[in-house]
Amino acid sequence: MKTSVRVPVGASVAALLLAAGAVGCSGGTEESPEMTPAAAVAKAAKNTEEIDTIRYRLTGRAPEEGRVKAEAQMQLKPELAMSMKMTALDQGAGASAEIRLVDKAMYIGGGAEAAKEMDGKSWMKFDLSALGAEGEELDQLGSASQADKNPAAESTFLTGAEDVEKVGTETVDGVKTTHYKGTVTVADLEKSLADEDKATREKRQKSLEQYEKMGVDKLTMDLWIDGDDHTKQFRMRGDADKGPLDMTFTFLGFNEPVKVSAPPAKDTMDLAEMMKESQQG
């Protein structure tokens, strides 16, 4: 067996996609006329606490990777589980991958292209508990901590903007929404952590660390909120050290059953086992 392998195409986007996200979607009409933009955004942020599962579609541009698209489903409670199919559109043929997180292990599948590099196996397993956060292989994914972040944390950042304003009403995927926008700096978000409860502070801190690593110091935020005060669509933009960040999440459902299974063992290369064999050798 080869002791040196290349992580399947698109894996460097995995941490970014796991780091990003927002809340669920629903139908309805726009918010009450007396609600201010700041109040509407705050109410949608509060509603993230009621979300156990989400399904969403992602399109946009990631630093280094260029244009990406993905569809995902994620369970936030009682234990984190997720599956995502993604494609790096500017990376040529075969630049697709599937990511699964289940039972505290991350699996990255690259199909036939990955199998060429991994003795016929199309999946690589990263056992987060076995490898630990200090492993070099985990650094390629951003860090192990990115896998256990609640994606709803990203959408609540707009509550920290001082310039939140209402853009207008728009229909997104057949749902009437009200569009809001604003800007926030990572430094201001860091300062605001002291005013949050412990759970919210921990969620936001993980996200902010990711942006700091990318070199993003300011985010332009857009939120499309439906008549039930849930975010239907979410967009974030910023300038990173290695290129622009511009991600739009459209939410397809929430609090629906989510089932994620580990890939067949016969098709999976276990990175922890491979490292152990390498050390023994």
CA 164 – CA 3 distance, rounded (Å):
52
The answer on pLDDT for 276 being more than 60 is yes
CB 69, CB 87: distance < 8 Å: yes
| 30 compared with 61, residue with greater pLDDT | 61
Domain assignment present for 180:
yes
Question: Which band of pLDDT confidence, cut at 50, 70 and 90, is reported for residue 142?
Answer: very low
Whole-model pTM over 0.85: no
Domain assignment present for 175:
yes
Count of domains for the chain:
1
The answer on pLDDT for 149 being more than 90 is no
Give residue 214's pLDDT: 85
Which CATH number fits the domain that encloses residue 54?
2.50.20.20
CB 46, CB 35: distance < 8 Å: no
A 10 A CB-CB count for 77 gives: 9
Nearest to 273 by CA among 174, 125, 136: 125
Give residue 277's pLDDT: 62
* Structural domain boundaries, residue 259: 11-280
CB 62, CB 52: distance < 8 Å: no
Instruction: Count H helices and E strands in the chain, helices first.
Output: 9, 12
Residue 194 is encoded by which pair of tokens? 């002291």
Residue 96 is encoded by which pair of tokens? 């697709």
Residue that has been written with the tokens 């076995």 in this structure: 130
A 10 A CB-CB count for 264 gives: 10
Positive or negative CA dihedral for 133, 139, 140, 145? positive
Domain assignment present for 142:
yes
Domain assignment present for 171:
yes
CB 193, CB 205: distance < 8 Å: yes
Question: Which band of pLDDT confidence, cut at 50, 70 and 90, is reported for residue 179?
Answer: very high
Domain assignment present for 98:
yes
Domain assignment present for 146:
yes
pLDDT tens for each residue of 81-115: 889 898 888 877 667 888 998 888 889 888 777 77
Domain assignment present for 5:
no
Domain assignment present for 103:
yes
